[in-house]
Chains A and B, each alone.
Chain A
Amino acid sequence: MSEHIVSTKLYYAIWIALLVLTGVTAGVAFIDLGPFNTIVALTIATLKAVLVILFFMHLKYTSEKMTSVVVISAIFWLLILLALSLADYSTRPLGLS
């Protein structure tokens, strides 16, 4: 996004990390962690997403602050949708009454 050029070594390292994390998330799914299965799966997914955004999408290397503002705003707005919808669904009985 600016003049900074990322080394191929770093790209390959991130690539390996992403593949390893994919294997981990698939493997962990077969282990019984109760409710933590979902949390672990989403945490790993978020970690992968962060790696892609920071390194492949160059967010770490850009000089423009506005880009980070846009990324954080998008996530925040999605959370608004999810959280306030849940405010309704979590305070009434499950399923159609």
Chain B
Amino acid sequence: MATAMSPVAERENYLNQEYGVRSWLLTTDHKRIALLYLASITFFFFVGGLFALLIRLELLTPAGDLVQADTYNKLFTMHGQIMVFFFLVPSIPAVLGNFLVPLMIGARDLAFPRINLLSWYLYIIGGILMMHAVLTGGVDTGWTFYTPFSTAFSNTKVIEAGLAIFVVGFSSILTGLNFVVTIHRMRAPGMTWWRLPLFIWSMYATSIIFLLGTPVLAITLTLVIFERAFHLGIFDPTRGGDPLLFQHLFWFYSHPAVYIMILPSMGIVSEIVPCFSRKRIFGYSFVAMASIGIAVLGFLVWAHHMFVAGMSIYAALIFSFLSYLVAVPSAIKVFNWTATLYKGSITFSTPLLYAFGFIGLFTMGGLTGLFLAALGVDVHVTDTYFVIAHFHYIMVGGAVMGYLGGMHFWWPKISGRMYPESLGKLAALIVFIGFNLTFFPQFILGYLGMPRRYWQYPPEFQVLNVLSTAGSTILAVGYVLPMIYFLWSMRYGKHAEPNPWGAAGLEWMTPSPPPTSNFEETPQVTWEAYDYGNIDLPKEVPVER
């Protein structure tokens, strides 16, 4: 299936088909839109990362000596808002999802290419609003916007930040809508539901959450904005308003949002693991159904963020029980990935290193989530660094590692170039070490009682904080390295074959990079997913075996 490609004669592909700023800013090609997103979310990743470094710098010493307390409140708020809404939520769906969904199902584009472009412009508008809020005073409410502080007492740019997140949320709703319609209506002949790559299943599950959860965040932020601007009294305790109502509405989206952030990464791992074990995934249908299960069950557990907020104990019991249930489909996936690796023919490529990192760190993060779901334990560790460690293990150790693994895995397809494999492995190792050094001490800190969102702390916590800050600098190096060598590879990297990894999937049956129309002819699918028994490794294997 791979035709020998002369590196000198540049075949026409989606990158060189047309040049010029207008051809990019007015494109409706899902692959170009994916790259537009890639540039934007990378920018916000570094902005959010900058705030993280400032936080860690302040926490090097017990005293509040780098910034004022109010400034510190702004740092952790904006770190959270930018990382969650402008990086984690869009990252994989808007970059890898946009690029791969049509390719993986054998379609020429998404169902609504112009709405896809609109999605990106909404993201940019939201991003500009957010940066303006950041640069003209910031927000200090915490990324969770709790009332009545956000509605009645904070003197910061709450309305602008709320508006920015509303707009960027709408962008994500349109992405989810596009994916669902595309997956339903535009699969190539023979591409039945049970032959879909698991990445598609996870994109579908993520899109369910986009569609049904994000609107509730939208209306909640709208009500907060109305309350601040028009003095409504919906969340005002002096007029009978219940602050907990805000929390219910906020977390109804924000809990499923964490599954938005992890499901796509899980989908990536489900693609990487079979490829580098040369085996079909173990329990395909279970993994597919587990994705849907996570999306659905994820909507039933939101109030586990409110156990100590004043909720009724009976509701707390219900939500605690449901939270244990939602761990089951995630565990199924971890078992199935492990079973796929078992007796596989393993190649320790960079993508697989990231997948290993994901499996280990996500498991730790997920299990500590169950600690938090236990009511008694939660009373002790809620709002401490234990929670922070928990969600960073999942968001960073899980989602970001999955994202990086995916970027490495599909980089040859996206850019037509190979990244330098040894640097890839080095960066993965640096990220893994830096990550654990940053966040493992935080589990201990939380257990010992260090509260979150505090800008000073008792001196006995300093050693662990110093370790954490040291780790964060190493982590930063690990993140910068791929930026550098990916850019380097676009000019100097080895030209990529259509299928450098010998991977299964329709995206590998088209040239690297693909032509604008994706496929010369519409594929006719007659084989099952992950048909690794019948796929040859490429003649020139880019990775040492």
Contacts and interface: CB of A to CB of B under 8 A. Distances in A.
Interface of A: 66, 73-74, 77, 80-81, 84-85, 87-89, 91-92, 95-96
A80 B253 CA distance: 12
A85 B312 CA distance: 11
A91 B248 contact: no
16 contacts: A66-B184, A77-B212, A80-B299, A84-B303, A84-B315, A84-B318, A84-B319, A85-B248, A87-B314, A87-B318, A88-B244, A88-B311, A88-B312, A89-B312, A92-B315, A96-B237
B321 to A, nearest CB: 12
Interface residues of B, number: 20
B242 interface: yes
Given A77-B299, A84-B318, A88-B303, 11 more contacts: A73-B212, A77-B212, A80-B299, A80-B300, A84-B302, A84-B319, A88-B244, A89-B312, A91-B314, A92-B315, A95-B240
B318 A81 contact: no
Name B's interface SS. helix
Contact of A88 (B212, B216, B240, B315): B315
Interface of B: 184, 212, 216, 237, 240, 242, 244, 248, 252, 299-300, 302-303, 311-315, 318-319
B312 A92 contact: yes
Nearest to A85: B248
A89 to B, nearest CB: 8
Looking at A66, A74, A88, the one whose CB has the most chain B CB atoms below 10 A away is: A88
Contacts of A84: 300, 302-303, 315, 318-319
Contacts of B252: 81
Contacts of B248: 85, 88
B156 to A, nearest CB: 26
Contacts of B318: 84, 87
B205 to A, nearest CB: 13
A96 B312 contact: no
A91 to B, nearest CB: 4
B17 to A, nearest CB: 34
B311 A92 contact: yes
Nearest to A80: B299
B389 to A, nearest CB: 28
A89 B303 CA distance: 12
Contacts of A80: 299-300
B216 A91 contact: no
B240 A96 contact: yes
A93 B85 CA distance: 35
A81 B216 contact: yes
A92 B303 CA distance: 15
A85 to B, nearest CB: 5
Contacts of B184: 66
Query: Sorted from nearest, which 7 A-B pairs have the closest CB atoms?
Result: A88-B315, A92-B312, A91-B312, A91-B314, A87-B315, A77-B212, A88-B311
Nearest to A95: B240
B301 to A, nearest CB: 9
Contacts of A81: 216, 252
Contacts of A66: 184
